[in-house]
């Protein structure tokens, strides 16, 4: 009996760090996939059908299996295609990668946008609070090429799509040098290393177009 040909589709949005990290994982694994671009904030009937709970990208469709939420999708990809592991094999290291990835999306992301929307506490206070959070990652990556060690892994994909290729660009729009090389030498080195990885470069939104879009978003929020 002939093996059924695999079908992999990804619904994403070009500036979404959540969908770009899934693309990185698929490219790292060498998995052929069909990319379906959503034009957010409009939502296609297909997106609403496939992800009725959150109504957000990314959504991965593997044959007849539908998955949402980027961390869940990354782990599914890692377990389904075993080459080029994304998560550490050691149980403790795997747990810590998940912990810090959650920290990035749930704490650094909302804190990182606070300086952009004129917080009541003041911009300088918001910047310092954000730097305090980022310092935890500085300590984690110091002495390493990547959070995953010598090669890009789960936390690199999550933090990489969120911090240097999303938040840093938003901060640049406001003239904020949040992650200076002097204060964050480890992260600065890590960002340079990320830029050397081909699959990362392939998944980074074009900078000028990205910043133009972010400026419009910031204008709406301020």
> What average pLDDT does range 37-59 have in this prediction?
96
- For the stretch 142-152, pLDDT in tens is 999 999 899 99
Whether residue 38 contacts residue 57, with contact meaning beta carbons closer than 8 Å, is answered with yes
Beta partners for residue 36, in sequence order: 11
Tokens 């901060």 -> residue: 171
Give the pLDDT confidence score for residue 100 in this predicted structure.
98
- Are 100 and 26 in a shared domain? no
pLDDT band at 106 (very low <50, low <70, confident <90, very high): very high
User: In the chain, which residue ranges form alpha helices assigned H by DSSP?
Assistant: 17-29, 45-50, 70-80, 91-103, 109-113, 123-141, 154-162, 168-173, 185-195, 198-203, 207-221
Q: Which residue range forms the structural domain that includes residue 34? A: 8-80
Q: Per the domain annotation, does 202 fall within a domain?
A: yes
Q: Work out how many domains the chain is built from and give that number.
A: 2
Give the pLDDT confidence score for residue 118 in this predicted structure.
64
Q: Per the domain annotation, does 2 fall within a domain?
A: no
- Are 106 and 176 in a shared domain? yes
Residue 94: pLDDT over 90 = yes
Residue 217: pLDDT over 70 = yes
């Amino acid at each position: 009996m002939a093996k059924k040909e695999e079908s992999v589709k990804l619904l994403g949005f070009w500036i979404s760090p959540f969908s770009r990290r899934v693309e990185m994982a698929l490219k790292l694994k060498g998995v052929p996939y069909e990319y379906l671009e959503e034009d957010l904030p409009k939502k296609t009937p297909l997106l609403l059908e496939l992800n009725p709970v959150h109504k957000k990208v990314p959504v991965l469709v593997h044959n007849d299996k539908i998955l949402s939420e980027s961390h869940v999708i990354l782990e599914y990809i890692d377990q389904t295609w075993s080459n080029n592991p994304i998560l550490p094999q050691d149980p403790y290291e795997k747990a810590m990668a998940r912990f810090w990835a959650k920290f990035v999306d749930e704490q650094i992301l909302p804190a990182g946008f606070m300086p952009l929307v004129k917080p009541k506490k003041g911009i300088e206070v918001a910047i310092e609070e954000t730097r305090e959070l980022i310092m935890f990652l500085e300590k984690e990556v110091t002495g390493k090429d990547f959070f995953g060690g010598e090669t890009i892994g789960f936390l690199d994909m999550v933090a990489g799509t969120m911090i240097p290729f999303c938040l840093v660009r938003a901060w640049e729009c406001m003239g904020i040098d949040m992650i200076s090389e002097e204060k964050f030498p480890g992260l600065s080195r890590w960002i340079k290393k990320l830029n050397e990885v081909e699959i990362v470069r392939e998944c980074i939104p074009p900078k000028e177009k990205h910043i133009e879009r972010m400026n419009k978003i910031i204008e709406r929020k301020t």
